[in-house]
């Protein structure tokens, strides 16, 4: 019996996630692409990504810039350097700059406030923050300074798996879904998301992830495959101890990631969905395009100066690692045009 695409309850989601029949999958891809075109149009919004610090106090088991990453040289960009990247974003016609970092207390409330104010007053760009778990006071102050959006993937909706891969800091239990809800109440557009194929992630957990994304009414959703980092426990033998039984363990592959992108588009028709760098890393030849034709409508070109970019090594072999902003931009424009789409202009807020 043909599987439905209207009512995505848990069982239907699991069925689609496990689907292997190419004809059935073709139905999923084309429905996701039609919903994308109808709700957010053909523009591909470009958001300039600046990785402003690789310092991190957390020890997430998946991440290459975790606190105990061995021998990683650390950097924190100066305010002037960050502003220079924002100018570059403006020059390239991007509507948004995304400031991302490890969880770095050295990026103080006052420092980030100053950076947000300078970017807003000089460039008028939309400012998206992705600075990890921060206090409500900091988040409210940055909103008042002009920050528009905050990206915080909840990584997995399963509490036990979350606790295992994302240890809390002493005295501060980690609850990313709660922070997302609080940020929404403060007026941020919120970006959530998950990694696909984390050791221990089952089909049922992944289906619940899509339900959580829908329940959060996320404005943006970042979905990428888990890519093992030799700098992190889950990149080595640590992965084996967490893996679910073979038939239950979600693979960290391109096809499964694309299914999650497509199902997320159906669950959240208006959301901004990036075709992520991790997808482009797992399939350099066509990962970006497959994401964009199966539900995604955003790309985040990397504007981080190359001397820092190589140190923001959350996983090895990141796509575009050695590209300059100009070359990366030209390549991207060509690739977007080749699939019959065009680069968006303006901030590209949700549903526009």
Q: Which residues bind ligand SAM (CB under 6 A)?
A: 62-63, 100, 102-103, 130, 132, 152-153, 155, 195, 224, 226-227, 229, 278, 314-315
CB of 155 to ligand SAM, least distance (A): 6
Residue nearest to ligand SAM (CB): 132
CB of 62 to ligand SAM, least distance (A): 4
- Alpha-carbon span 193 to 98, nearest angstrom: 16
- Alpha-carbon span 282 to 253, nearest angstrom: 8
- Alpha-carbon span 179 to 136, nearest angstrom: 8
In contact, 189 and 148? CB cutoff 8 Å? yes
CB of 322 to ligand SAM, least distance (A): 19
- Comparing CB distances to ligand SAM, the nearer of 28 and 279 is 279
Half-sphere exposure of 164 (CA within 13 A, CB side): 17
CB of 100 to ligand SAM, least distance (A): 5
CB of 37 to ligand SAM, least distance (A): 27
CB of 119 to ligand SAM, least distance (A): 18
Cα separations (Å) of 16 from 29, 235, 283, 300, 303?
Answer: 11, 28, 22, 27, 36
Structure tokens at 303: 């504007």
* Selection from 305, 311, 304, 302 nearest residue 75 by Cα: 311
- Comparing CB distances to ligand SAM, the nearer of 119 and 314 is 314
- Comparing CB distances to ligand SAM, the nearer of 276 and 297 is 276
In sequence order, the β-bridge partners of residue 272 are: 220
- Comparing CB distances to ligand SAM, the nearer of 75 and 226 is 226
- Comparing CB distances to ligand SAM, the nearer of 63 and 183 is 63
- Alpha-carbon span 33 to 17, nearest angstrom: 17
* Selection from 298, 300, 280 nearest residue 290 by Cα: 280
- Comparing CB distances to ligand SAM, the nearer of 41 and 238 is 238
CB of 36 to ligand SAM, least distance (A): 22
Cα separations (Å) of 137 from 143, 176, 186, 283?
Answer: 10, 16, 11, 40
- Comparing CB distances to ligand SAM, the nearer of 271 and 343 is 271
Rounded (5°) CA angle 295-298-301:
140
């Amino acid at each position: 019996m043909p599987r439905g695409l209207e009512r995505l309850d848990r069982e239907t989601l699991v069925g689609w996630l496990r689907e292997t029949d190419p004809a059935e999958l073709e139905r999923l891809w084309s429905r996701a692409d039609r919903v994308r075109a109808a709700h957010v149009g053909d523009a591909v919004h470009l958001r300039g990504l600046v990785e402003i610090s690789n310092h991190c106090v957390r020890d997430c088991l998946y991440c290459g810039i975790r606190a105990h990453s061995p021998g990683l040289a650390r950097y924190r960009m100066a305010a002037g350097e960050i502003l220079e990247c924002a100018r570059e974003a403006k020059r390239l016609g991007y509507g948004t700059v995304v400031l991302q970092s490890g969880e770095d207390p050295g990026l103080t409330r006052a420092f980030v406030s100053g950076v947000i104010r300078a970017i807003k007053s000089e460039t008028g760009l939309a400012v998206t923050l992705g600075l990890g778990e921060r206090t409500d006071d900091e988040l409210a102050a940055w909103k008042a300074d002009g920050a528009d959006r905050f990206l915080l993937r909840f990584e997995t909706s399963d509490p036990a798996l979350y606790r295992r891969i994302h240890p809390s800091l002493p005295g501060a239990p980690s609850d990313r879904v709660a922070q997302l809800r609080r940020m929404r109440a403060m007026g941020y557009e919120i970006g959530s998301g998950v990694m696909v194929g984390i050791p221990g992630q089952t089909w049922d957990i992944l289906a619940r992830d899509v339900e959580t994304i829908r329940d959060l009414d996320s404005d943006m959703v970042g979905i990428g495959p888990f890519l093992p980092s030799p700098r992190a426990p889950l990149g080595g033998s640590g992965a084996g101890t967490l893996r679910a039984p073979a038939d239950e363990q979600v693979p960290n592959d391109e096809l499964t990631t694309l299914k999650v992108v497509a199902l997320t588009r159906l669950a959240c028709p208006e959301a901004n969905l990036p075709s992520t760098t991790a997808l482009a890393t797992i399939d350099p030849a066509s990962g970006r395009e497959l994401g964009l034709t199966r539900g995604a409508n955003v790309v985040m070109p990397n504007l981080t100066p190359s001397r820092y970019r190589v140190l923001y090594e959350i996983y090895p072999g990141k796509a575009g690692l050695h590209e300059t902003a100009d070359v990366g931009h030209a390549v991207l424009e060509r690739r977007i045009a080749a699939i019959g789409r065009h680069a968006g202009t303006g901030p590209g807020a949700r549903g526009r």
